[in-house]
Structure 1
Amino acid sequence: MTPHATYPATQFRIARPTHQLDAVVAFYTEGLGLPLLYRFEAHAGYRGAMIGLPGVGHHLEFTEHDDGAPCPAPSKDNLLVLYFPGRQELDVISRRLEDHGVRPVAPENPYWEKKGLTFEDPDGWRVVLFEGSFGGGGRST
């Protein structure tokens, strides 16, 4: 039995604050084309949105608080990597982002330049569109 088959968690969420929720949601939904799964208002002073990939048990959550939220600038190597089966599919999403005024940036790690494009969301967090897959052996192919 593989180690992951025995792990009891069935979903995961990556959550982070922002001070510009609407712009961040637009980047991930309109720019990247990811579906908005859920949006909530006025929960103990928090508003937020869950964004994910279709049909999978993991998603991103972005929250904004009425009193603001300290959002320290991320390093240029804090990445969300989205894998695409081919360059054609990657280019469709890249064009969507560029149509929304988002241009590629140089990655901190030149590895991502080989078969990918790096973009920054409105808070400066980076997203890599990568042609290939992660094989589980520690390397993206």
Structure 2
Amino acid sequence: MTTPHLRLARPTRDLAAAELFWVDGLGLDVLWRGAGTEPGEHDLTMVGWRDAQWHLELVGGPHLAVTPSPTKEDLFVLYLDSPVDDALVRRLEQCGGTRVSGGPYWDRWGVTIADPDGYRLVLSTRAWANT
């Protein structure tokens, strides 16, 4: 069986600000970009690492039907299996992120940064284990 590819789509108020955070801040690549030209279509920027089995689709533009409404539980967790680099956290903040408390568990095991729309990125010091 092949490994499925995962897409996570999120609305954004400002596609350029979201791209700055995820690409320049975190270091993801722009995998695809498209402009919604017809009613009901959206502007899209897909970001991720080229060899990963997932990508994050940022959805914006004038035809966006919803406003981003993140909660404290809307987490995008990256398991680093190492300490969080302070320079990475500073770069994410310089690119529009805000360091926030992730609660006792995530504060113990990593750093939580809210993106420009308020969605939370957790940089976890733990390793992912699917056992």
What's the TM-score once normalised by structure 2's chain length?
A: 0.85
Deviations 1:11-67 (A, max 9, x none): 111112222111111110111111111111135332110001231121000111423
- Tell whether the 8 Å contact from 2:7 to 2:56 is kept in structure 1 after alignment: yes
Gaps of 5+ in 2: none
For 1:17, the aligned partner's letter is P
Computing the radius of gyration from Cα coordinates, the structure with the larger value is 1
Matched residue count: 129
Q: Which range moves more in the overlay, 95-104 or 10-19?
A: 95-104
- Per the alignment, residue 119 of structure 1 pairs with 113
**Sequence identity percentage:** 36
Aligned to 2:123: 129
Question: What does 1:81-100 align with in structure 2 at a 5 Å threshold?
Answer: 81-87=77-83, 90-100=85-95
- Runs of 4+ displaced beyond 2 Å: 42-45, 65-69, 89-92, 98-103
CA-atom RMSD in angstroms: 2.0
Displacement of 1:99 in angstroms is: 3.2
Tell whether the 8 Å contact from 1:34 to 1:52 is kept in structure 2 after alignment.
yes
SS of equivalent residue, structure 1 residue 132: coil
Change (3 A) 1:111 1:16: same
Q: Residue 93 of structure 1: SS of its match in structure 2?
A: helix
- Structure 1 residue runs without a partner (length 5+): 1-5
Cα displacement (A) at 1:122: 1.0
What does residue 51 of structure 1 align with? 47
